Structure formats: C-alpha cells, structure tokens
C-alpha cells in the first residue's frame, strides 16, 4: 500500500513497547536511562501506580483491601512530548502530538535502546509492540460515522437507524508471523460546539522467548514491519472523506 503522509495527522500518541528478557525493575531501568540520556529527558519524572485489590470471604463476611504499587516510571523531555516508560522488564517509548513522523520517532526509539546497559541489550527482547492512538474530529455536519469509517460495528435491524455512539474491540492473530493486532474503536466526547469524535486505538505486537536480539539492530526489521502493517490497517479502516480531514 502506498504510504500516505498527512499534513495534519490525527495521532495523539505513538508508542513502541519492548519486553526485556533481562530482569530489571522499573526504577532501576529509569535510573540507568536517566544517566545515559538525561540531557534528552530534562522534565520531571512521573510515576504511575497500579492499584491491587484483594478480597477475602468468610462464612458471614466479605472484606477487601487495596494497595498501591509502583508500576511505571516516566522520563519526560522538557516539553513533555517525548517520554520513556520504565516498568519491570519493559521499556516503552512515547511521542505525543504533534506527531513528528515515523523517521523522527524511530530515532527516539533507537536512542533509547542505545542507552540500555550492554547486559540488558545482550538479553534481547520477549516482546515488540507498535501502538497508535488517534483522535479523529468529524465536521459538525457529519450525519453518519459510516461516511468516515469502514469498520463501525454492525447493529441489529430493529434498532433505530442512526448510530449515535459505539465502543468495540477486535483482536486478530496472524498465525504465520505470530503478530497480534488489537483495534479499539469508540465514539468520544466532542469539544464544545464541535462535531462527533472517533477514538481509534490500534496495537500490533509480537512475542517470543526470546523474540529477537537487541544488538546490531536485529529488532529494527520487526518494528518496521509492525509499523507498516499498522499503517495498512488504518488506511483500510477509513474513507476518502476522513483523509480530507487530515489534508
């Protein structure tokens, strides 16, 4: 499929996520990347916790407790648009809108990989994922989501004819390559005095034990293929009316 480059892409966040075979905590990963790449990530660190809930059932009572555990530590650039997510055996590289283009983004990913200690790189990867989140703002005059999306969920015939809101998740597997694709589609809240909004979240990933090496750029062909397939799926999901919105 011909690559299209849009002057006004709807991308609000792009992510490349790597599962590391070597054992390392999120805090330790953040520390080593901060030492190696600190000049590129001068913003304040951000921590995202995970809430774990446990319940116990006795004969006459049910009790529950919750606790917070550190989940991801983010290193951020001074403008807050580039991030490195550091979790246990996981590195994610993020870029926020305005999207700089794949070539600039993959340079950020390569820089992050270069900042890893040799012991981590030698362990290779157990996972590679490419994820794009788009926010597509439709014109106020839009009468139907079907005019802009080729993949809106079907509805039973007895339902009223006009689709006003939706939320769907589709997951598929390519048995030849092991690629798993997950597409989440939802209608979103519009801005004031604006038209409908479509949230389009597409993730493609591969797993292995290990999947590939990190040394010598062995991971790059896989991430390039995942990115190309992501573009192909996106283009097959939208109509020419949607493309006009990005021009």
Q: What is the tens place of the pLDDT at every residue in 40-51?
A: 999 999 998 654
pLDDT at 71 over 90: no
The residues, ordered by sequence, that sit 6+ positions from 176 with a Cβ below 8 Å of its Cβ are none
Average pLDDT, the chain: 90
- What pLDDT does 144 receive? 86
Q: Provide mean pLDDT across the span 127-146.
A: 93
Is residue 236 within a helix (H) or strand (E), and if so which, with residue range? helix 220-237
Per the structure block, which two tokens stand in for 23? 């054992």
Res. 52 pLDDT band, cuts 50 70 90 = very low
* DSSP per-residue letters across 151-193: -PPP--TTS-S-----EEEEEEE-TTT--EEEEEEEEEPPPTT
Of 133, 121, 224, nearest to 179 by C-alpha is 224
**What would the pLDDT profile of 111-125 be if each residue is shown by its tens digit?**
999 999 999 999 999
- What pLDDT does 143 receive? 79
Beta bridge partners of 84: 75, 93
CA pair distance 177, 204, nearest whole angstrom: 12
Query: Which residue bears the tokens 């390039």?
Result: 224
**What would the pLDDT profile of 212-242 be if each residue is shown by its tens digit?**
999 889 999 999 999 999 999 999 999 999 9
Of 182, 179, 188, 187, nearest to 201 by C-alpha is 182
pLDDT at 87 over 90: yes
pTM of the shown model: 0.89
């Amino acid at each position: 499929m011909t690559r299209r480059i849009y002057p006004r892409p709807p991308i609000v966040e792009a992510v490349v996520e790597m599962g590391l075979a070597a054992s390392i905590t999120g805090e330790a990963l953040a520390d080593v990347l901060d030492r190696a790449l600190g000049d590129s990530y001068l913003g304040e660190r951000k921590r995202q916790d995970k809430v774990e809930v446990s319940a116990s059932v006795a004969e006459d009572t049910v009790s529950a407790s919750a606790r917070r555990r550190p989940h991801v530590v983010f290193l951020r650039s001074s403008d807050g648009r580039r991030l490195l997510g550091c979790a246990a055996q996981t590195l994610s590289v993020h870029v926020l809108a305005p999207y700089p283009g794949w070539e600039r983004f993959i340079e950020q990913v390569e820089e992050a990989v270069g900042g890893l200690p040799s012991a981590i790189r030698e362990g290779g990867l157990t996972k590679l994922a490419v994820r794009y989140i788009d926010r597509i703002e439709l014109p106020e005059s839009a009468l139907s989501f079907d005019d802009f999306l080729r993949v809106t969920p079907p509805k039973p015939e007895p339902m009223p004819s006009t689709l006003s809101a939706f939320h769907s998740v589709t997951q598929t597997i390519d048995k030849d390559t092991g690629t798993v694709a997950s597409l989440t589609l939802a209608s979103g809240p519009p801005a004031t005095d604006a038209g409908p909004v479509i949230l389009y979240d597409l993730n493609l990933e591969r797993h292995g034990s290990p999947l590939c090496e990190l040394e010598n750029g062995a991971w790059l062909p896989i991430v390039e293929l995942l990115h190309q397939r992501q573009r192909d799926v996106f283009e097959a999901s939208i109509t020419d009316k949607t493309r006009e919105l990005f021009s």
